[in-house]
Amino acid sequence: MRSGRLFGVSTGDVFRKHDPHAHPDFFRAEAAGLAWLAEAGMPVAAVRSVSEHHIELDRIAEASPSAGTAREFGAVLARMHDAGAAGFGAAPDHYDGQLFIGRRPMSRTVHATWGSFYIAERVLPFLRIAVDAGSVTDRQCRDIEAACDLVAAGAFDDDDPPSRLHGDLWNGNVLWSPRGVVLIDPAAHGGHRETDLAMLALFGCPHLGRVVDGYESAHPLRAGWEHRVPVHQLHPLAVHAAGYGAGYGRELHRAALATLELGGST
């Protein structure tokens, strides 16, 4: 695998990623996130070594997704979320460096409420990049900013405490192995549990319905969570619009319109 300057290679039972030009915290952040999720009982790719320029992980054997494994994963995911975080936006415990989502820096500023955190630290920074890149038009941006204002004002806040999130839980970071689901490449931080679930839905996850069944067996979701999926997809869509073009800008705009409709602002 090669992404930008990032190289990855498997040798035996080890997977090594290397980038001589990486930010000094880039691989440290990945290792800290994996450890934090593992502390909460989530199977992750174990870190064998890490430095400023590399990380070595256990290579994960592949298996076909199954409904039973999906349900088990959902229950473990709920328990991981329940392990909590120090605040909305908080970095993994005992980690004092920069956070990242993919290759992009991500804020670790903590907020008292979810909506203000989500918009200020997870949506607007990437929206600005997307606008500058031409992936979001001025007209689209006005609607997206209106949705952001609604969320930041607390329209979707609840009494759920900060959850321990993977933070980049698309299907490519969910590995199906003979021992069950194993997670890789986190952008771990404190956030809302529905954001991880919305990310799973965004790019498709095998047996997603069974994942949700398992999740609710361990922690029932708040009523209406399915309708709030577009709200929680604003962040990943903004990140993708910042780096992958106008198609994601249009998807971000659609999610913003759905958010406005859900909040009664259209």
The CATH code of the domain that includes 230 is 3.90.1200.10
Angle, helices 124-132 vs 138-152, to 10°: value is: 180
Domain span including residue 245: 62-262
Confidence category of residue 5, pLDDT binned at 50, 70, 90: low
For the stretch 144-181, pLDDT in tens is: 999 999 999 999 999 999 999 999 999 999 999 999 99
Q: Helix, strand, or coil here: 46?
A: coil
Confidence category of residue 264, pLDDT binned at 50, 70, 90: confident
Residue 66 is assigned to a structural domain of this protein: yes
How far, CA to CA in Å, does 137 sit from each of 11, 86, 119, 217? 45, 36, 19, 42
Confidence category of residue 141, pLDDT binned at 50, 70, 90: very high
Residue 73 is assigned to a structural domain of this protein: yes
Contact between 189 and 99 under an 8 Å Cβ cutoff? The reply is yes
Q: Tell me what the mean pLDDT of segment 120-136 comes to.
A: 98
* DSSP annotation of 44: B
What pLDDT score does 7 carry? 58
For the stretch 197-207, pLDDT in tens is: 999 999 999 99
Does the pLDDT value for residue 9 go beyond 70? no
Q: Percent of the chain having pLDDT more than 70?
A: 95
For the chain, the domain total comes to 1
Residue 200 is assigned to a structural domain of this protein: yes
pTM score > 0.75 for this model? Answer: yes
What tokens does 144 get?
A: 């997206």
Residue 105 is assigned to a structural domain of this protein: yes
What tokens does 163 get?
A: 């959850």
Residue 86 is assigned to a structural domain of this protein: yes
Residue 48 is assigned to a structural domain of this protein: no
How far, CA to CA in Å, does 249 sit from each of 84, 156, 220? 32, 23, 32
For the chain, the first-to-last Cα distance in angstroms comes to 44
Contact between 237 and 252 under an 8 Å Cβ cutoff? The reply is yes
Residue with tokens 């804020």: 107
Residue 113 is assigned to a structural domain of this protein: yes
Residue 154 is assigned to a structural domain of this protein: yes
